[in-house]
Amino acid sequence: MTPTKHRFQSRVLKGGAAMALGLATYLGSLQAVDQTAHVSPMAGPQPAHAAASSLRITYAARLAGIRIGTGVLSANMDGGRYTATISAQTSSVGRLVSQGQGEAVARGVFGRTVAVPVSYDLSASEEDLTNVVRMRLSRGDISELSAEPQLSEHPNRVAVRAQHRRDVVDPVSALLMPVPNAEAARGPAACGRTLPLFDGRQRYDIAMTFVRMEDVQFGNGQAAVCRLSYRPIAGHRSNRRVNQDLAQNPNMFVWLSQVGDQALVAPVRMEIGLDFGTLSIQALEFAAQ
């Protein structure tokens, strides 16, 4: 992989993870990427969910208008439990994007405003690189963890300590966002959260703040547009420009639409403004039952 391509992959894929989209996370880059209080995964009573339901969203990813990949988010929900899967692939585009594919699966239960995973498994590859993560969790705390390859040692890398493995959510579970009630899924409250993400190597927060409501062709016909703020916490290299750029980037947004009639929202569009163009991930199909 050329240095140019590697820098692009790190920035774009990490940015996708920072937007809480497993479409980017499963491909991994082998480094992986507030108006409300930090949300503890088990805080408060659980919202009401349908006895059984399913969700399937097909996405297309584009950079500066050029299609670079596709992905599918599928989820099965039974009462307060869920199983969610992201499968996706990118196409080789010159020296910028490498060909890759992968899948990530998360299982867990719904808390009041965040999914609470009990397991997360990722397997991905791009060119001659592979990325495998296995996590097991209990009430938001990681009890078992393996990630290959491991992060390289570096004097500027912020160490991942025990406290960074507590009260966390994986990048796939983070795509299923509970809200207190169905009415909240159709308004600004959909954005009111800070996601405490851990991808197997790095710990970071994604704060979401409401911008506006916008008409969309999916769900109930409207989506809450949320501005995203990325804050690296551990596992990253403090001197890397990509981390600084993402933390200061004002042009990261996600569109959240209600899943059926549930107290639950999921992304139908995401955008990251980058120096070399906008990375957009747009839903092509949205089916909730």
Q: What is the pLDDT of residues 242-287, one digit of tens each?
A: 888 889 999 999 999 999 999 999 999 999 988 878 889 999 999 9
Residue 85 confidence class, pLDDT cut points 50, 70, 90:
very high
By DSSP bridging, strand 203-215 and strand 193-198 are antiparallel
Please determine, for residue 36, whether its predicted confidence score (pLDDT) is greater than 70. no
- pLDDT score of 121: 96
SS3 57: strand
Containing structural domain, residue 240: 3-288
CB 108 within 8 A of CB 135: no
Distance from chain centroid for Cα 108: 16
Number of domains in the chain: 1
- pLDDT score of 68: 86
- pLDDT score of 206: 94
> Is this structure's pTM higher than 0.75?
yes
In terms of C-beta density within 10 A (0-12 exposed, 13-18 middle, 19 or more buried), how is residue 149 classed? exposed
- pLDDT score of 16: 42
Q: First vs last Cα of the chain: how many Å apart?
A: 42
The tokens of 72 are what?
């599918």
Q: What is the pLDDT of residues 167-180, one digit of tens each?
A: 999 999 999 999 99
- pLDDT score of 95: 53
Average pLDDT of the chain to the nearest whole number: 82
